[in-house]
């Protein structure tokens, strides 16, 4: 039996794949504990053993300014979120390591505190890459920005008296919850192991299945953190789907403000279960939604908002499994035309099926646990 400490940020999409891996490890007889900002870490993991590391309210994604795009968004992410989050989490991670005495630390790629503490204590650590954004070195063509990120990391390592490499990449194992069929070839894979999505069961959500009438279902969702920002886009989706009598639209509107006589609306849905019954999905490009959709072999229409979503949209387009739209400018006719194309052109579904096959072959949580068990410690 080994002891694994999972260090995570208070972000749903980053916790979800590790929750599935944790379940597999526990099933194999290993001891697993979590560490992250509270109370969100306990809420997201639904685990019995959670060590607090910082205040999750301080790092709630809802506190981020809505209008940030491009470099402004990247600057905010690093200077106002990732680095302060690491500084805030380090004391709690230190206490968790002292109390739990893990054999291996598994650190989410945006929870630098896990890498910092493990490196300082000489513990093996693993990177959990919940999204593929960093794997292809997106800053390679922007050396000044890459140098700026490098300096922020260097200052962080100096403050915490750690001499190690890039905190985003363990030298021993990087679990990438995707496949090359989606990301494209990675120039320097190093310790990266592509295991495909690790899709954990979601909390039960009530849904009236009898509302589905048998027409091809098109689901529009912007995930859990874009309620206010997404109202205009979702309203356009309602209008777009209302003009498509041959399909049934379902728009997930967390505000509950959107109403339609012809399009279904819901504040929440059991997303994975609903997606399995759909014909296509409109989304913002969140990694979990993209993974759930492609794992069902369905084409996507993606309107990226921020962060890794633009790159994921680019990857989906390059794989031939969907099309992208401009989130802040798109109108109902554009959405309607794009949805019609991915539904009627067989190449999109065929490409999505190829990605689905690659996900299945990668092994998911079983492969991830196998790699973790093979680590020397």
Instruction: Give per-residue pLDDT as tens, 238-297.
Output: 999 999 999 999 999 988 889 899 999 999 999 989 999 999 999 999 888 999 999 999
- How far is Cα 250 from Cα 268, in angstroms, rounded to an integer? 11
Low-confidence winner among 17-26, 199-208, 216-225 (lowest mean pLDDT): 199-208
Low-confidence winner among 168-172, 200-204, 315-319 (lowest mean pLDDT): 200-204
> Does the pLDDT at position 227 exceed 60?
no
Q: Which two tokens stand for residue 163?
A: 């001499």
What is the arithmetic mean of pLDDT over 33-58? 92
List, in sequence order, every beta strand (DSSP E) within 130-263: 174-176, 192-194, 217-220, 248-252
> Does the pLDDT at position 140 exceed 80?
no
Burial of 23 (0-12, 13-18, 19+ CB in 10 A): middle
Quick one: pLDDT band at residue 108, thresholds 50, 70, 90? very high
- The pTM of the full predicted model, rounded to 2 decimals, is 0.89
φ, ψ at 196 (rounded to 5°): 75, 175
Residue 143 confidence (pLDDT): 78
Q: Which two tokens stand for residue 295?
A: 């794992």
Mean predicted lDDT score pLDDT of the chain: 90
Residue 95 confidence (pLDDT): 98
Domains of the chain: 3-172 (3.40.50.2000), 209-360 (3.40.50.2000)
Query: Going edge to edge, which strands form the sheet with 192-194?
Result: 50-55, 31-38, 3-7, 104-108, 125-129, 174-176, 192-194
> Does the pLDDT at position 62 exceed 70?
no
DSSP state of 251: E
Residues 106/109/111/117 CA torsion (nearest 10 deg): 50
Q: What percent of the chain has pLDDT over 90?
A: 69
Residue 205 confidence (pLDDT): 83
With vertex at residue 373, the alpha carbon angle to CA 354 and CA 23, rounded to the nearest 5 degrees, is 70
Q: Which two tokens stand for residue 259?
A: 């109403």
Instruction: Give per-residue pLDDT as tens, 141-167.
Output: 667 888 888 899 999 999 999 988 889
Residue 357 confidence (pLDDT): 97
- How far is Cα 290 from Cα 292, in angstroms, rounded to an integer? 6
């Amino acid at each position: 039996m080994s002891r694994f400490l999972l260090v995570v940020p208070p972000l749903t999409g980053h916790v979800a794949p590790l929750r599935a891996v944790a379940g597999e490890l526990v099933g194999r007889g290993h001891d697993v504990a979590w560490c992250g900002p509270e109370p969100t870490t306990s809420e997201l993991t639904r685990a019995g053993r959670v060590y607090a590391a910082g205040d999750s309210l301080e790092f709630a994604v809802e506190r981020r300014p809505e209008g940030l795009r491009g470099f402004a968004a990247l600057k905010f992410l690093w200077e106002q979120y990732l680095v302060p989050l690491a500084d805030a989490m380090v004391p709690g991670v230190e206490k968790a390591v002292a109390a739990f005495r893990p054999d291996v630390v598994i650190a989410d790629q945006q929870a630098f505190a896990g890498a910092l503490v493990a490196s300082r204590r000489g513990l093996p650590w693993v990177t959990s890459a919940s999204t593929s954004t960093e794997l292809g070195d997106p800053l390679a063509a922007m050396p000044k920005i890459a140098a700026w990120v490098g300096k922020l990391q260097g200052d962080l390592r100096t403050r915490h008296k750690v001499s190690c490499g890039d905190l985003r990449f363990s030298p021993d194992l990087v679990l990438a919850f995707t496949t090359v069929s989606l990301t494209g070839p990675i120039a320097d894979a190093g310790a990266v192991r592509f295991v495909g999505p690790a899709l954990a069961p979601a909390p039960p959500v009530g849904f009236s299945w009898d509302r589905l009438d048998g027409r091809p279902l098109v689901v529009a969702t912007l995930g859990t953190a874009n309620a206010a920002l997404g109202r205009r886009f979702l309203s356009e989706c309602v209008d777009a789907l209302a003009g498509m009598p041959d399909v049934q639209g379902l728009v997930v509107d967390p505000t509950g403000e959107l109403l339609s006589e012809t399009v279904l609306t819901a504040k929440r849905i059991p997303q994975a279960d609903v997606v399995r019954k759909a014909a296509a999905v409109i989304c913002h490009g969140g990694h979990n939604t993209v993974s759930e959709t492609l794992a069902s072999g369905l084409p996507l229409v993606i309107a990226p908002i921020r962060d890794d979503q633009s790159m994921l949209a680019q990857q989906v387009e390059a794989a031939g499994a969907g099309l992208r739209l401009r989130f802040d400018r798109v109108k109902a006719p554009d959405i309607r035309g794009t949805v019609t194309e991915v539904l009627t052109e067989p190449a999109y579904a065929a490409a999505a099926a190829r990605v689905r096959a690659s996900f299945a072959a990668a092994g998911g949580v079983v492969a991830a646990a196998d790699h973790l068990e093979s680590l020397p410690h």
